[in-house]
């Protein structure tokens, strides 16, 4: 992944302490995230009422995508920190999953914003595609779109002379698959178009819901909640887009601050790759009163679980 794989693989004695500190920072956050994910998925599985809402289905999909993203990116992080080299045929699947899930995040954010838009403006006559029984079609489409860019990377792959896909050990970085300038230019252009479209979708839904809050006299609370949700989606998208500013930031700051390029890369990786994934389940999970109450009951020390037959009051 572009924001992770710039990390230095040099593990000489001069930076051993730095590597240990970085690993000790990442691993606790990673396990805390996994605990929350497992707790949330257990809550969903125990209370099937959540799957009667497109919103909760999309939220579950986002959690699963973020889990795959973190598993692949943290694995790459640890491999690069340990300077572990292996053949491209084994490295490529990790890079593919990491890139696809990274690109899938803004698509999910825009889809969740559109779901709030549809819920507000078409509460009684929701289009069939947005109903819970058909939402899987949208989810499948998001996966196909997010896989386009890593697939192009494989198609345009041009290895250096003497490098064999099956036997030559390499450090697992994205520049292994993005070797040519034309390929890099194509990737930057596609990423720019990709995120611009997503930003327009989120901005459109935010403005339309904002206008609706000024016109509606009933159910203003639900509309304001939807407005805040879309605003959070926009904030998350901004964090995702900041990951692409890493080369420019390194060029401008490395010479002006007492930080190595590897340290700058780690700061970007932590702030704009890991942290948004850690925050997303907290933002969208714990904000929901119904989900939060069930999760508290499922945690040890919070007493017995509530009656599974009790209906969930899904948030609008």
DSSP states along 171-231: E--GGGT--SHHHHHHHHHHHHHHHHHHHHHHHHHHHHHHHHHHH--SSHHHHHHHHHHHH
Count of alpha carbons within 13 angstroms of residue 174, beta-carbon side: 23
β partners of residue 169: 87
Structure confidence by residue, pLDDT tens digits, 34-77: 888 888 888 888 887 888 888 889 988 988 998 899 899 999 98
Which pLDDT does position 250 carry in this prediction? 63
Q: What is the pLDDT along the chain (316 residues), one digit of tens a residue?
A: 544 444 444 445 556 788 888 889 889 888 888 888 888 888 888 887 888 888 889 988 988 998 899 899 999 989 888 888 888 888 888 999 998 998 898 888 889 888 888 888 887 788 888 888 889 999 999 999 999 888 877 777 776 666 777 888 888 887 776 666 777 777 777 777 878 888 888 888 888 877 776 666 555 676 777 777 778 777 777 777 776 666 666 666 656 667 677 777 788 788 878 877 777 777 666 777 777 788 777 776 664 444 444 444 444 4
Which pLDDT does position 65 carry in this prediction? 92
User: Residue 103 corresponds to which tokens in the numbers above?
Assistant: 């690109």
Report phi then psi at 167, rounded to 5.
-130, -30
Which pLDDT does position 47 carry in this prediction? 81
Instruction: Give the CA radius of gyration of the chain.
Output: 21
Domain residue ranges in the chain: 15-298
If one counts every other C-beta atom within 10 angstroms of the C-beta of residue 144, the result is 9
Cα–Cα distance between 115 and 141 in angstroms, integer?
15
Cα–Cα distance between 135 and 57 in angstroms, integer?
8
For the domain with range 15-298, which CATH number is right: 1.20.120.1770, 3.40.50.300, 1.20.1070.10, 1.10.10.10?
Answer: 1.20.1070.10
If one counts every other C-beta atom within 10 angstroms of the C-beta of residue 58, the result is 24
Structure confidence by residue, pLDDT tens digits, 202-232: 888 888 877 776 666 555 676 777 777 778 7
Which pLDDT does position 178 carry in this prediction? 65
């Amino acid at each position: 992944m572009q924001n992770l794989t710039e990390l230095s693989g040099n593990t000489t004695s001069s930076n051993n302490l730095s590597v240990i500190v970085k690993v000790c920072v990442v691993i606790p956050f990673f396990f805390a995230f996994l605990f929350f994910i497992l707790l949330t998925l257990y809550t969903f599985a125990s209370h099937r009422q959540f799957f009667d809402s497109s919103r909760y289905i999309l939220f579950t999909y986002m959690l699963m995508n973020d889990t795959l993203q973190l598993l692949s990116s943290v694995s790459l992080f640890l491999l690069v920190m340990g300077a572990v080299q292996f053949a491209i045929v084994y490295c490529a699947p990790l890079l593919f999953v990491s890139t696809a899930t990274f690109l899938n995040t803004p698509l999910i954010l825009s889809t969740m914003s559109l779901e709030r838009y549809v819920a507000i403006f078409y509460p009684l006559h929701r289009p069939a595609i947005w109903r819970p029984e058909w939402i899987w079609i949208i989810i499948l489409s998001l996966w196909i779109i997010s896989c386009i860019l890593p697939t192009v990377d494989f198609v345009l792959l041009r290895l250096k002379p003497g490098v064999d896909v099956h036997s030559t050990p390499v450090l697992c970085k994205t520049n292994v698959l993005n070797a040519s300038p034309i390929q890099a230019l194509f990737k930057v252009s596609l990423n720019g178009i990709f995120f611009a479209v997503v930003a327009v979708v989120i901005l459109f839904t935010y403005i339309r819901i904002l206008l609706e809050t000024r016109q509606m006299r009933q159910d203003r609370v639900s509309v304001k909640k939807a407005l805040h949700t879309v605003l959070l989606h926009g904030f998350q998208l901004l964090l995702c887009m900041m990951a692409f500013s890493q080369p420019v930031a390194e060029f401008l700051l490395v010479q002006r601050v007492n930080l190595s390029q590897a340290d700058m890369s780690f700061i970007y990786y932590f702030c704009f790759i890991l942290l948004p994934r850690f925050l997303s389940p907290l933002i969208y999970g714990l904000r929901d009163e119904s989900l939060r109450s069930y999760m508290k009951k499922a945690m040890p020390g919070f007493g017995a679980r509530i009656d599974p037959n009790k209906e969930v009051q899904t948030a609008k």
